[in-house]
Structure 1
Amino acid sequence: MLVRSQITAERQRRGFTIVELLVAMALIGVMASMVGMALSSAQGDARRARAKLQVAKIREILLHRWDDYMVMQMPVNLLDSGVPFRGRQRASERARIRLALLRDRMRIEMPDRITDLANPAQSWPTQAFDTGTASWKTVTADTLSAPLLDIYRERVVQTYVALGKLPASATYADVFPGGVDSLPPSSSDNDLWTREHQSAECLYLILSAMNFAGRPALDAFRPSEIADTDGDSMPEIVDPWGTPIAWARWPAGYWFEISAIDARTDLGPDGFDLLNASVRYKDTAVATKPFNLQPLVVSAGPDGEFETRFINGLDPDSQIEINYVGASFRVTLSGFTEIDPYYAYTDTTTAANLKTKSGQGGVGYMGDLDGDGYDASVDNLTSSEL
């Protein structure tokens, strides 16, 4: 009997107790959690690596055209009441007009906002010596040729014509029934082009009209990297988290802030104005003189929030649109004007915005724009950091 009892007890002890099962389950759960976190971390790292590659790729494509502007010839032809004017002109003034024409061409060919495409090439007043009257007189520089403006506009119009949202006879103005300066912020307010993600949509337009390394620039992106996240039928390049990749052509606020944080940062002079011909050099009321501006490409990162000023004004959701050819967005001296890439604020009803033309807080500025105490831009991936 004793032997049989021992055998029975041993057989009963061959199973697991509830405590042992719970401990085993807890260990499995811990290991599964560790594996899950490792996989999640690896997935996050992979997404960041892909986003960096996207941003670097876009930057390289944009700089391919950007560098062309450095040596691009600008025909500075003068007109007097529409008639060619053959008087003499100061070399410095001729350089200033070339700069004005060049910036206007950059605005049209590399738009980062809808208002860039709303205005045709501009004319610029200048001074020249009239040999007939032996006096200086104000004449106008001939406007530049900008065929890309018509191409961009036609692509936008045909997008909505193909969707049946506009008639075949529509023009670019028909895309903005209320006017380009009063664009609705989202597609829920309008079924045509909206302000939401406009810089990303302009970026797509630029890439759609460019070749890079002998192929269409858009071929460098997979179909999964192209989407219409705001439902206005204008495509964007999206990062691995599904957020449109934005860009700023003249991010003066970003570079100004970089130099303010690190005094050793030398942005250098404006590479497009080697003769210091800009009105900014002559206007003593302008505190900040021109410095080297590079385009900025930004992925919002894992949280999908930029907190980067792409529009303008103190309020990141401001309805105010910067329009580089508008009178209030130019730098002016003695009646002569230029497009001002260094403009900071547009909302002059706010006292803090009166420090205009300083670059501080302007386009490209990154920080706590919504005032919630958290700077969501800290995880942004920018082209300047690659």
Structure 2
Amino acid sequence: MRRFQTHQDIRASRDGFTIIELMMVVAILLFLIATSAFVVRNIGNKAREKASMANIIKVNGLLSQRIQAFHKLLDSKRSDKLIQPRLSSKRGQLVSELGNKKYYSLTDPIVEILVRKDLFRENFPQFIGDNVKINDVMDAQPGVTAGTAGSLGSDDGLSISSEYLYFVLTQFNGLGIAPIGEDAFNASEVADTDGDGLKEFIDGWGRPLRFYHWPSRLFRPYGAGGAIRRDVAGAFFSSLPPVPTSSSERDPLEVDADDPLGRLANENSRSNGLVQTLFNDSASYYYDTTALPSLFPCEYGVLDTYSLPLIVSAGEDGILGLYEPHDFTNNGVLAQPTAVPPVEGVFDNITNHNQRAGGR
């Protein structure tokens, strides 16, 4: 009897994946991990941006209230007790520091404008030369070593201006304007990032905010021929006034808020440029480190230039794009840009005049 043998397909059994399949799985996993990390990082940065904006808006609101109280006081009858005694002493200071007796010839309205600027500088300081009395009070606090306030410290001075701003708003009773107290801020808004015993305002990345009380170099950077640079200032100030369409109309960015009538410019013409020597058009800010502690620097922002106090976070990348507020050698006191046009890194900065990342 003939037997028929059924032939069945013999299929090779597989014990695992091929190399190509494994590589595809690994690639997919890496892609998913990278995508997840990007999403998580982006969410984290958005949260930090919002925290930075919230803190800057809060600090700016309190600063604006204090500045309004300051101007209200100077515009009241009480200002005579503050300003009048300083008119003659201001002339003497100018002659002493700058060595020119012609400063005695400046008229009272001009000297009063300068005294008002001095009072503003003293009550809203950003570096050690603005108000040595505040330095002394800050140094006298528990846990603070004498000479710490205004010193560069472990962070090379990044926190200095923010330390001054925090102290002024929470503890300084300047001109009888009461501070708000330290309990107005929480641990996510304030820290001692450099361990010097002095607290400062911070952004969402835990870095110190910077404070410039008259950032006129943003509008007229050194080397730009004195011309208004909206492309530079616009990275930090949104919605700037447009360029006037009429040649007879004065550019709003060429108007000093302390001198809206242009008295300084008129006096400068009358005195053959004497007033101009007090305002900064040089590569560095005048500050005599050997002067007596009771003397303040005579130099001011750029003549006939718009400016408002600037509070700024360097954003995610940490690139500020400005010289530091304590840097008088590079005109950082006046918010001198590190490059003109500004470096690309400034466009994620968050300020009290854009209140959003992007700066545009």
Instruction: Report the TM-score range of the alignment, normalised by the length of the smaller protein.
Output: 0.5 to 0.7
How far did residue 233 of structure 1 move?
Answer: 1.9
In the alignment, which of 154, 158, 163 is matched to residue 201 of structure 1? 163
In the alignment, which of 123, 146, 158 is matched to residue 141 of structure 2? 158
Q: Contact 1:95–1:275 at 8 Å: present in 2 too? A: no
Q: Contact 1:281–1:289 at 8 Å: present in 2 too? A: no
How far did residue 313 of structure 1 move?
Answer: 4.7
Structure 1 position 366 matched with structure 2 position 327: no
In the alignment, which of 257, 282, 304 is matched to residue 290 of structure 1? 304
Instruction: Write out per-residue CA displacement over residues 28-64 of structure 1, whole angstroms, 9 at most, x where no aligned residue.
Output: 2212211221222222222223222222222222112
Q: Contact 2:87–2:108 at 8 Å: present in 1 too? A: no
How far did residue 300 of structure 1 move?
Answer: 1.4
The corresponding residue for 1:273 is: 259
Q: Contact 2:170–2:179 at 8 Å: present in 1 too? A: no
Instruction: Write out per-residue CA displacement over residues 47-95 of structure 1, whole angstroms, 9 at most, x where no aligned residue.
Output: 223222222222222112222333323214459999xxxxxxxxx9554
The corresponding residue for 2:43 is: 42
In structure 1, the gaps of 5 or more residues are 83-91, 120-148, 166-173, 189-193, 316-344, 346-360
Q: Contact 2:218–2:229 at 8 Å: present in 1 too? A: no
- If the length of structure 1 is used for normalisation, what is the TM-score? 0.58
Distance 1:234 1:275, change over 3 A: same
Q: Contact 1:200–1:237 at 8 Å: present in 2 too? A: yes
How far did residue 157 of structure 1 move?
Answer: 0.9
- If the length of structure 2 is used for normalisation, what is the TM-score? 0.62
Q: Contact 1:268–1:292 at 8 Å: present in 2 too? A: yes
The residue identity in structure 2 corresponding to 1:364 is A
In structure 2, the gaps of 5 or more residues are 90-105, 222-226, 232-241, 244-250, 282-301, 356-360
How far did residue 16 of structure 1 move?
Answer: 4.2
Q: Contact 1:199–1:247 at 8 Å: present in 2 too? A: yes
Q: Contact 1:210–1:216 at 8 Å: present in 2 too? A: no
The corresponding residue for 1:306 is: 320
Q: Contact 1:70–1:271 at 8 Å: present in 2 too? A: no
How far did residue 226 of structure 1 move?
Answer: 2.2
How far did residue 248 of structure 1 move?
Answer: 0.6
What SS class does the counterpart of residue 297 from structure 1 fall into?
strand
Structure 1 position 233 matched with structure 2 position 202: no
Q: Which has the higher strand share?
A: 1
How far did residue 202 of structure 1 move?
Answer: 0.6
What SS class does the counterpart of residue 312 from structure 2 fall into?
strand
In the alignment, which of 115, 122, 129 is matched to residue 108 of structure 1? 122
Q: Which structure exhibits the higher relative contact order, with contacts defined as CA atoms closer than 8 Å and separated by 6 or more residues?
A: 2
Q: Contact 2:191–2:201 at 8 Å: present in 1 too? A: yes
Instruction: Write out per-residue CA displacement over residues 174-199 of structure 1, whole angstroms, 9 at most, x where no aligned residue.
Output: 537xxx9xx763349xxxxx845211
State the aligned residue count. Answer: 273
In the alignment, which of 329, 348, 351 is matched to residue 382 of structure 1? 351
Distance 1:81 1:34, change over 3 A: closer
The corresponding residue for 2:102 is: none
Distance 1:78 1:225, change over 3 A: closer
How far did residue 3 of structure 1 move?
Answer: 8.0
Q: CA RMSD in A?
A: 4.0
Distance 1:187 1:37, change over 3 A: closer
Distance 1:3 1:35 in 2: 55
Distance 1:259 1:68, change over 3 A: farther
Identity rate of aligned residues, in percent? 23
Instruction: Write out per-residue CA displacement over residues 252-309 of structure 1, whole angstroms, 9 at most, x where no aligned residue.
Output: 111334932467263263333345444x541133386423320011111122232312
